[in-house]
């Protein structure tokens, strides 16, 4: 069997938001390279004898260099191990799946990408707002808060900033919320545009912070979030509810907590 690596989306944090394919990949892993945002509820789904290696990759914290991660994946795959690279959210959304795929395929290693629920979708579902909405939001843009030379890089944002019917979902925006708001206003976005920030989107401890765009930075600063933060800017943000919506299983919603990982059926295929 040729060497292979699976780049698997772990979703926003809760094990019951994994896809079935992701669950089966984790259950069958012999080597698991996981990012800092992947919690124990998901890691516990891996076999007992699986080699677990934390790669980090969390903004502002120590992490393994991308070149080291690439080399480690290749080395383990070429040894014949079933390698799963487990990423928070979706591997194709700011997850460097393109870089890792190119590196591995150049060395004769097959790659399968398993999609996951991304933070924008998780936040919208939890707090009851749409990402697109007829008459309010005809397109959705996923952006990353990037710094260049110590300043926020807003290159390419101008058209989106000026389009009132564009929802902007800005990832990794916790420490740059004020600069992001100021940059968008400077590019033409109405300062009164509804905006929100969601900390730990998709998790049981998710938190919603709302403010008009011109006050978004101070609202996030006052809330002092410590987890990952997604910013959503656009008319649809005004539709967000203040409480996390309960998730339904086969029975009607009762507001009960989501089932733990131990309640999941184990895949028959190992």
The residue whose two tokens read 């909405």 is 133
Higher pLDDT, 92 or 57: 92
Tell the burial category of 96 from Cβ atoms under 10 Å away from its Cβ (0-12, 13-18, 19+): middle
Residues 149-180: pLDDT tens digits?
767 788 888 888 999 999 999 999 999 999 99
Asked whether the beta carbons of 3 and 78 are under 8 A apart, the reply is: yes
Asked whether the beta carbons of 88 and 38 are under 8 A apart, the reply is: yes
Phi-psi region of 156 (alpha: psi -120 to 50; beta: other; left: phi over 0): left
* Domains defined along the chain, listed by start: 4-117 (3.40.1010.10), 120-239 (3.30.950.10)
For residue 269, pLDDT beyond 70: no
Higher pLDDT, 29 or 58: 29
What pLDDT was estimated at residue 61? Answer: 55
What pLDDT was estimated at residue 270? Answer: 34
Q: How confident is the model at residue 37 (pLDDT cuts 50, 70, 90)?
A: confident
As a whole number of angstroms, the distance between CA 262 and CA 102 comes to 36
What pLDDT was estimated at residue 150? Answer: 65
Q: What is the pTM of this model?
A: 0.85
Longest Cα pair distance anywhere in the chain, in angstroms? 58
Q: State the catalytic residues.
A: 35, 57
**Sequence-separated (6 or more) residues with CB below 8 Å from residue 17:** 11, 116, 117, 122, 202
Q: How confident is the model at residue 81 (pLDDT cuts 50, 70, 90)?
A: very high
Backbone angles phi, psi at 255, to 5 degrees: 85, 0
């Amino acid at each position: 069997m040729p060497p292979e690596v699976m780049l698997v989306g772990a979703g926003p944090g809760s094990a019951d938001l994994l896809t079935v394919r992701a669950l089966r990949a984790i259950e069958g892993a012999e080597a698991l390279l996981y990012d800092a945002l992947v919690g124990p509820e998901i890691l516990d789904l891996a076999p007992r004898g699986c080699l677990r290696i934390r790669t980090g990759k969390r903004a502002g914290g120590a992490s393994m260099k991308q070149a080291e991660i690439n080399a480690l994946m290749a080395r383990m795959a070429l040894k014949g191990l079933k390698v799963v690279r487990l990423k928070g959210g979706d591997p194709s959304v700011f997850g460097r799946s393109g870089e890792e795929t190119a590196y591995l395929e150049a060395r004769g290693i097959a790659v399968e990408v398993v999609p996951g629920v991304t933070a924008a979708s998780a936040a919208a579902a939890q707090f009851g707002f749409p990402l697109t909405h007829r008459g309010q939001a005809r397109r959705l843009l996923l952006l990353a808060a990037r710094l260049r030379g110590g300043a926020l890089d807003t290159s390419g944002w101008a058209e989106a900033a000026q389009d009132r019917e564009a929802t902007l979902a800005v990832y990794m925006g916790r420490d740059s919320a004020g600069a992001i708001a100021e940059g968008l206003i400077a590019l033409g976005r109405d300062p009164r545009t509804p905006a929100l920030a969601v900390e730990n989107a998709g998790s049981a401890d998710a938190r919603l912070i709302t403010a008009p765009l011109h006050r978004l930075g101070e609202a996030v600063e006052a809330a002092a979030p410590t987890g990952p933060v997604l910013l959503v800017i656009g008319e649809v943000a005004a539709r967000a509810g203040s409480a996390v919506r309960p998730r339904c299983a086969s029975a009607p919603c009762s507001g009960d907590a989501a089932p733990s990982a131990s309640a999941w059926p184990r895949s028959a295929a190992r």
